[in-house]
Structure 1
Amino acid sequence: MKTRYRIFFIGILVVVLAAIRYYESIIFYDPLIDFFKYSDYLRDRLPDFDHSLLILNTFFRYTLNSLISIAILAIAFIDRNIVKFATVLFLLLLVLAGSVFTYLVFTIENEHFLALFYVRRFLIHPIFILVLLPAFYYYRMNNHAKKSV
């Protein structure tokens, strides 16, 4: 695939990620968005919410962002091994952060609001792609340098 088409498709996927973020309150059930945005969450109480629906929507959003992020990596590098490795990393992150998020949602107390905030943020925003793109780019450049020597 030509470079300009790859850049175009990556741009479309980035716009889709931005659209998911922009319409998050319409698409997903997440009462914690307004809680963390508008309240003094270090002193306030959590609003009443459906725990299982929140966890399900958070995992759905993570899955959606992960699939788009993996598609960006697949288009950027066109390497099956990178896509497989990235998929394993995304699944590992889901298991680890998802477990912590689920635990925090069911056992939340005022002193754990910041932990819930950051774990949730890591799950609902495609932050991992910002780490993986430069890492795989460096890996690719390092491999090409070794092969040419």
Structure 2
Amino acid sequence: MKKRYKIILISFMVLLLAAIRFFEDSLFYDPLIEFFRSDYLLGIIPPMNMAELMIHLSIRYALNSAISIGIIYVAFQNRSMLKFSVILYALLYLGAVSAFIFLVLNIEREHYLALFYVRRFLIHPLFLLILLPAFYYYRISKK
């Protein structure tokens, strides 16, 4: 694929990630958004429908992951990197969801910050920011 098309395609996918973030309030059920926007260390966690929250977190993670994996594939066009990314995203999802459920069900004030960061890993494409430079370094060090 020509470099120009790669840049256009990656830019489009980055815009998709931005759209997910921009329209998060209308697309996804997440009572924790307002909770963490306020002075959450002094408040109490809002009541929530746990099943609906987990479904929406999972959908959002899947969308962000699919787009992120697409960016990685377009950038490097390497099937082994693609396979590694899919497996890594799946394992990270299982770990983050397990931690999130544990923190929500056993919430105490001192765990609010941990809940904030685990939730952040689930709803934002942070793994992309880690994997892109790692794969780039791997590719240039292989030469």
Compute the TM-score of the two structures, normalised by the length of structure 2: 0.97
Distance 2:93 2:46 in 1: 25
Give the gaps of 5 or more residues in structure 1.
145-149
Identical amino acids, percent of aligned pairs? 54
- Where in structure 2 are there 5+ consecutive unaligned residues? none
- Listed one character per residue, the Cα deviations across residues 45-87 of structure 1 (whole Å, up to 9, x for unaligned) are 1111111111111111111100000000010001100000011
Q: Distance in 2 between matches of 1:70 and 1:58?
A: 18
Q: Which runs of 4+ in 1 moved over 3 A?
A: none
CA deviation profile, 1:92-131 (whole Å, cap 9, x unmatched): 1001111001111222121211111010001100000001
Rg larger in 1 or in 2?
1
Separation in structure 2 between the aligned mates of residue 62 and residue 107 of structure 1, nearest angstrom: 23
- CA RMSD between the two structures: 0.8
1:118 to 2:117 alignment:
yes
Distance 1:138 1:46 in 2: 41
User: Is contact 1:58–1:124 with CA below 8 Å preserved after alignment?
Assistant: yes
Question: 2:12 maps to which residue?
Answer: 12
| Distance of 1:6 and 1:102 partners within structure 2 | 38
Rounded to whole Å, the distance in 1 between the matches of 2:107 and 2:49 is 14
TM-score by length of 1: 0.93
What SS class does the counterpart of residue 116 from structure 2 fall into?
helix
CA deviations 1:12-52 (Å, max 9, x no partner) are 00000000000001100001001100x22111111111111
Distance 2:128 2:107 in 1: 29
* Aligned position for 1:128: 127
How many residue pairs get matched? 143
